[in-house]
Structure 1
Amino acid sequence: MVFHESELEHRVSTVIQARRDVRELHSQFPILPFADDDGVVHDHTFDYYVVFEDGYRVAVAVKHARKRTQILDMFDRIARHDFSHVADDLRLMTEEDATYETFYNAHDILRAREHFDEVEYEITRSIAMRLVGRFRFGELLRDCAHIGARRDAVWQLIDHGHLVPLSPGRISALTWLTVPS
């Protein structure tokens, strides 16, 4: 179970969960010490702890971009202590990393993963592989028996890298897609 103490944390965790290379995601871990300018030791609880498929471990702090300098200074202070027993890296994620567009795209990918339909996936993949150049997401929704299953199949093809959006931002029925070569 992943916990969110803010709307920004919810967006960040959703974006992280939608990555295909994430093996584990934990909330409110690790807790790492750092010393302030007066030498007083404080603890910082990271918002998320990510373990990737290759074993790489990242402690993630979620803050608004306006706090970047303050958080990066704290990271430098934490790095003065050995934290390699817990994490390989410290990362700051802000609203710039988890925009509403990336959040909604990640949400659609996660929903599509929950509703995997092998037959619809293969039909949609076959149609997409025959299309040349760029085409709109919505073109793959034409003449299908179940538009929800087809939409999920398109999202799954995007998730698996078989379809690529040609521009950043929110993916919709009007988004231009292509099949990577």
Structure 2
Amino acid sequence: MTKIVNYDTPYIAHPVSRTSLRLVAEELKKKLNISVTKPYVDVVMILDRLSEIDSSFNYEIVEDWQLDEHVQAMTNVEAKTIYIKSSVYEDACQGIGKDRMSIAHEIGHILLHRDVIQMPVLYRYDGSLKLYQKPEWQAECFAAELLMPYEQIKNMSVEEIMISCGVSRPAAIYQKSHI
């Protein structure tokens, strides 16, 4: 069964374009001295090094039962903490694409939406939103740009993206269709 990301949320984030999210992903790699020319990114290593970006960033591996059944991981932006199901973390360590994507998505939330206390990045909203104003879309696009960088995949087939970037078929198809 394919994981479906639900972009519906009662929150609005400052508008961010896909191009800007691509730049955020590239900047993260540069700050952590990760090659921007290699397509495969070790998200677990990035998770371990997030405190180099902000010393208050943290993550916790939790028992699977501690998060809802359909939640792989979640971020508390106020606490600057990512919570990851132990099975998701273990599978990401083994290179399972969907779990690598889940962790990259949460890294996106912590980087993009971390200043919620200092300024109102997110607030309740009852109207219709543009896709680029939705925090879930922003985190998912960031994850895609981090794991499947445009410059590396623009001339690849879906299969080549899956192999080179270590992602699932649905993720590769989605990213390929949006570059």
TM bin (shorter chain)? under 0.3
Question: Could you tell me the TM-score, scaled by structure 1's length?
Answer: 0.25
Greater RCO structure (CA 8 Å; 6+ sep):
2
Question: Could you tell me the TM-score, scaled by structure 2's length?
Answer: 0.25
Choose 1 or 2 for highest CA Rg.
1
Greater strand percent: which structure? 1
Greater helix percent: which structure? 2
